[in-house]
Structure 1
Amino acid sequence: MPSPQGENDVRLRRVLPGELQPPRWPVGFAMRTFRASDAPVLHDLLELVFNDGMNGPFDQWWSRLAADSEFDPELCFLVFDGEGRLAGAALSWTSGFLKDLAVAPDCRGRGIAEALLWHVFVVFAARGASHIDLKTNLIDNAAAVRLYVRLGMTEVDWGG
């Protein structure tokens, strides 16, 4: 579930299934689901992208994530470049909440976030979910908000 909202935070929703497109992965990038051995690089990416200290040290973050009843490795999608470096990730909760969407700064602008979002939408629609939600900040994450809106996400009340 989303953490408490801060100033300018919004909850966005994509109703499913709606019109879905298959993800188009950029040339040289490939997506797969999470493996436990990916935990350190996923933590590093989240720390780099969010830079808010909310994840905490790796051992604490991993023990919380692995024990969370909403965590399913099959709903954590990782995108790697041709050299095997983690370029992007979408970590979704089983409840249909996109907990984290992160793209490495040097990999932005290539369509990785859009492809990850389409993949999340398709997977959750196939699971029978009625929607997928996420929390974002209108000011601090304005570029991402534009992408979310372009892909059909709209603001909903915090109560869902």
Structure 2
Amino acid sequence: MRVRPATTGDVDAITQLMNAHGTAVHGESEAAPTAVLEWLEDPELVIRLGERDGKLACYGDIMFSADGTRANLDIREHPDAPASAGPMLEELEAIANERGATKAWAFHASEERELAALVRARGYTPIRHSFRMLVRLDAAPEPAGWPEGTTVREMRESEQRATHAAGNEAFADHWEFEPTPYERFARWNFEGANFDRSLNFLALEGDEIAGICLCSMHWSGDPRYGWVGILGVRPPWRRRGIALALLLHSFAVFRERGCTRVGLGVDAESTTGALELYERAGMHVHRRQDTLEKLL
């Protein structure tokens, strides 16, 4: 298999591979061309493509941690190109080593048994797992209940840096936390075709940001699929029901817009009770993803 850098001319081929992979593994599409183009234009994301007989067989990318010491490896194999993930993993590890990373994380869905066996054979050890959770919006969600003195509204443009700071503070005590530089946070959350300011909510106590809920439509392009990208409450305001209220508020807004489902990702071993909170909001586990680590 020939492995090469990706270009913006590969948008359609990558989209087709991602969706073939997602349909085979999860029964649903994974990405729209607009999302793939944004990945290709991200200056920090390293993307490689594997080809067999002139056809795209495998996708791989690396996002380095902000300090450059950890390489996060994502590999998607076309269902018609078995065993293509091996050469891709070797290529991504070589790049990580060249750039000075000291460890690598690899990920696989619970259904990806061949990929799971491959990364373990390459010396990766399971360290964590996470869930993608989902709620169906067939019926109106429970009304949000706000603590006394707390209000909710859309984030204003002038509040983007304050929202970034609140997000870093909200997740500072989470597992393997690293502060996200504003430029990276803004690129992922406030820029791009999928950004919709009216889907970014702040819980306020006076002028203080107590919690944030940054949402968008899902990157698959499905107009009925909403996504909660970041939900966090700053420590002084925890245990007051603000996170649940923000989540229910987002569900109501998504339903008003015609969404039939909303998803989010969560650390399965979160110490803040996030998993239980999402279940109380009516969500259920839709997918499981394992994280594995290897020292380089």
**1:89 aligned residue (212, 216, 220):** 212
Q: Determine the C-alpha separation between the residues in 2 that align with 1:152 and 1:121.
A: 10
Deviation at 1:66, TM superposition (A): 2.8
Q: Determine the C-alpha separation between the residues in 2 that align with 1:12 and 1:37.
A: 31
Deviations 1:47-102 (A, max 9, x none): 112232363x22342244332222211000101112x1100011011221100000
Where do 1:72-151 residues align within 5 Å? 72-82=196-206, 84-95=207-218, 96-141=226-271, 143-151=273-281
Larger radius of gyration: 2
Q: Determine the C-alpha separation between the residues in 2 that align with 1:54 and 1:94.
A: 25
- What 5-or-longer segments of structure 2 have no aligned partner? 1-29, 31-71, 75-106, 108-126, 219-225, 290-296
Paired residues, number: 156
Deviation at 1:130, TM superposition (A): 1.1
- Structure-1 residue corresponding to 2:118: none
TM normalised by structure 2 equals 0.49
Does the aligned pair in 1 maintain the 2:130–2:288 contact within 8 Å?
A: no
Q: Determine the C-alpha separation between the residues in 2 that align with 1:142 and 1:111.
A: 12
- Correspondence 1:59 to 2:191: no
- Correspondence 1:42 to 2:163: yes
Does the aligned pair in 1 maintain the 2:189–2:214 contact within 8 Å?
A: no
Q: Is the partner of 2:142 in helix, strand or coil?
A: coil
- Correspondence 1:32 to 2:153: yes
Q: Determine the C-alpha separation between the residues in 1 that align with 2:161 and 2:238.
A: 21
Q: Is the partner of 2:249 in helix, strand or coil?
A: helix
Does the aligned pair in 2 maintain the 1:17–1:121 contact within 8 Å?
A: no
TM normalised by structure 1 equals 0.87
- What 5-or-longer segments of structure 1 have no aligned partner? none
- Correspondence 1:7 to 2:137: no
Deviations 1:100-127 (A, max 9, x none): 0000111011111111011011111111
Q: Determine the C-alpha separation between the residues in 1 that align with 2:288 and 2:211.
A: 27
Q: Which amino acid aligns with 2:190?
A: A
C-alpha RMSD over aligned residues: 2.2
Does the aligned pair in 2 maintain the 1:25–1:111 contact within 8 Å?
A: yes
Q: Which amino acid aligns with 2:183?
A: D
Identity of aligned residues (%): 29
Q: Looking at both structures, which has the greater relative contact order when contacts are Cα pairs under 8 Å and sequence separation is at least 6?
A: 1
Q: Determine the C-alpha separation between the residues in 1 that align with 2:189 and 2:267.
A: 23
